[in-house]
Every structure is written in structure tokens, then in C-alpha cells.
Amino acid sequence: MIKNYLKIAWRSLLKNKVSSVINITGLALGLATSIIIMLVVLKEFSYDKFNAHFDDIYLLMKNQKEMDGISTGSSTAGPMAATFRDELPETKYAARVSFFGNQIMKAGDKTIYESGMYAEPDIFNIMSFPAVQGNPVTALQDPNTVVITEHTAKKFFGDENPMGKIIVADVKNTFRVGAVIKDIPTNSTLQFDMVFPFSFYALSNEWLNKWDDNRIPDLGAVEAGSKHRFRKCKTNKAVAATLQRHYCFPVRLSAQQAEIAPQF
């Protein structure tokens, strides 16, 4: 029976070659497009899921009133992270970051343009970037130490042990490799090859002490199990009260505006 059906179908295809080609091509294109869309959607939903404490990680977002409405962005005041860490008990970790691109890096006789970021040590407590050598949290506590990825270590030092090696950044700043981490997953929101101590960045950027200068993103992690309380109960009252104490202008936050948006 099935054999007969296949014969009839084949004869029909041969009899109507043009329409058959059009139909089969359309079906193939439709299937291919659907598969591509599905893969893109799955990739988007996979972002940052590799983090062990994915559900507890937040990126601080700020709503700012402008002439044409309200804009939302991740640029916040320099003292924000430390204030949340000190004044909101649910905040377990908080870290400031600042990105840079195409900066000259020199190690030995190799000179390479690299991209990366300055970050506080807690970034490696918040995000799950496994260490291959050294302790990245401890390394970033030293203002003259740098954390690099395996790929970067290979690029600069080949098969040599990179630990303790010297990298000169921006021609004049010398750093010692204090830790090596695995390469950053492609589905990570944070993409970098090198991490320099935020304490070094702060030395030449006094504006980080001001509440009226918003340029850097802050990431935080709340205590396990406190996510619901943090978002629903603490946000409007505690966050608004905290901001009111430090900003020099009135802070009026609606329920939606005051909510600290989950990063992932």
C-alpha cells in the first residue's frame, strides 16, 4: 500500500515538474528559516545561564526623565555599588565595571591591541568564570595585577606559564598576571579578554566619588532565597530611601521605576 502511494506521488512530481520544484523549494526555505529562527531564539535565552547563581544576579538600571520621556540605562553613579552593599542587607556582592577597547598591551616583544574591563573583585563572586590558575578575586585586590583568559595567555606567552609575567598596558602601566580564567562563553553578556583592578581605574577618575556623575554599570548578587523579598518588599522603600540620602535632588520612584531589573 505504502509502495503504491510513493509511486503515485513520484509520478505526480514528474508530471508537474515546475510546480513541484516551486513547492519543494518553498518548503525547504520555510523549514530552514524556522530552524534558524529557533536556533537564534534558543541562543538568546541561553545567555548567562552558565552562571551558578543565575537567578540571584542583577544589573542595576536607572530610569532618567528627559525632554522626550524616560530613558532607561545601566550607567549609574560611582558610589552606588558600595552603598547597596553596605545599606541593603540582601546584597551579598556588588561590583563596578568599566570597559575599554583596543588598548595597546605589551608583553616581552609582543605588542597587541586588546579589549577588556576594569572590575572590582566581587565580579568573580557574582559571575561564574572558572579559574585555571590563581584566584581572580584575590588578584583584583592588588591594583597592579591583571586577570587574563586562557586565549590571551596563549597569545602573549605561548606555552610558558603566564603567572607572574608582566604586561604593560597603554605603554606606561605595568601589571603582573595574577590569575588565568577559562575563555568567556559566547553566550555571556560580559565579554572581555583581560580584567584590570577597578582600584587602579579609580585612582585617575575622581568622578567615581560623585553621585551626580553616572557612567558605569553595577552588577550585584543577592543572598540566596531573598530574591522575592528584595524585589517586592525592599525595592520601593529601601532603594528610594537610600538614593534620597545621597542624591541632591528629590527621588520619586514608581513601583515600576524603582524595581531593580534582573540582569539575565
- If asked whether residues 33 and 100 sit together in one domain, one would say no
Q: Sort 69 into a burial class: Cβ within 10 Å, 0-12 / 13-18 / 19+.
A: exposed
Does residue 248 carry a pLDDT above 90? Answer: no
- 176: β partners: 145, 166
Highest mean pLDDT among 62-71, 113-122, 237-246: 113-122
For the stretch 51-60, pLDDT in tens is 998 888 888 8
Give which of 145, 101, 263, 91 is closest to 137, Cα–Cα. Answer: 145
Q: Is residue 135 part of a domain?
A: yes
Q: How far is CA 251 from CA 73, 142, 162, in A?
A: 17, 36, 48
76 and 121 part of one domain: yes
CB-side neighbour CA atoms (13 Å) of 195: 34
Domains in the chain, number:
2
**Residue 258: predicted pLDDT:** 39
Q: How much is the average pLDDT of 11-38?
A: 85
Same domain, 145 and 107: yes
Greater pLDDT, 120 or 254 = 120
Contact 146, 178 (CB under 8 A): yes
What residue numbers bound the domain in which 88 lies?
54-209
Band of pLDDT at residue 195, cut at 50, 70 and 90: very high
Same domain, 80 and 112: yes
Q: Do 150 and 186 have their domain in common?
A: yes
Cβ neighbours, 10 Å, residue 48: 16
Is the pLDDT reported for residue 230 higher than 60?
Answer: no
Residue 215 is assigned to a structural domain of this protein: no
**Residues 119 and 96: beta-carbon distance below 8 Å:** yes
> CA-to-CA distance for 29 and 23, rounded, in angstroms?
10
Would residue 61 count as lying in a domain? yes
Is the confidence at residue 242, as pLDDT, over 60?
A: yes
Q: What is the mean pLDDT of the chain?
A: 83
Which of 28-42, 143-157, 211-225, 240-254 is least confident? Answer: 240-254
Residues 143 and 17 in one domain: no
Could you tell me if residue 251 is inside a domain?
no
Please give the residue that has the higher pLDDT: either 165 or 249.
Answer: 165
Does residue 232 fall inside a structural domain?
no
Among 239, 244, 243, 230, which Cα is nearest to 258's?
239
Rounded mean pLDDT, 3-30: 78
Inside any domain, residue 10: yes
Query: Are residues 94 and 36 part of one domain?
Result: no
pLDDT at 244: 67
The per-residue b/e assignment along 205-234, b for 16 or more CB within 10 angstroms, e otherwise, is beebeebebbebbbbbbbeeebbeebbeeb
pLDDT at residue 263, rounded to an integer: 45
pLDDT on residue 255 = 40
The pLDDT score that the predictor gives to residue 72 is 82
Shared domain check, 21 and 132: no
Model pLDDT for residues 120-168, shown as the tens digit of each residue: 999 999 999 999 999 999 999 999 999 999 999 999 999 999 999 999 9
The verdict on 9 and 66 lying in the same domain is no
Report which of 196, 229, 28, 226 is spatially closest to residue 116, judged by C-alpha positions: 196
Q: Is residue 62 located within the same domain as residue 167?
A: yes
Nearest-angstrom CA–CA distance, 64 and 84: 19
Please give the average per-residue pLDDT across 75-80, as a whole number.
85
Asked if residue 105 and residue 65 are part of one domain, the reply reads yes
pTM: predicted TM-score of the whole model, two decimal places: 0.79
Residues 26 and 147 grouped into a single domain = no
pLDDT of residue 256 exceeding 80, the answer is no
**Residue 131 placed within a domain:** yes
* pLDDT (0 to 100) of residue 261: 40
Q: For residue 98, what pLDDT is reported?
A: 94
Task: Please report whether residue 245 resides in a domain.
Answer: no
Phi, psi of 179 (to 5 degrees): -165, 150
pLDDT at 120: 96
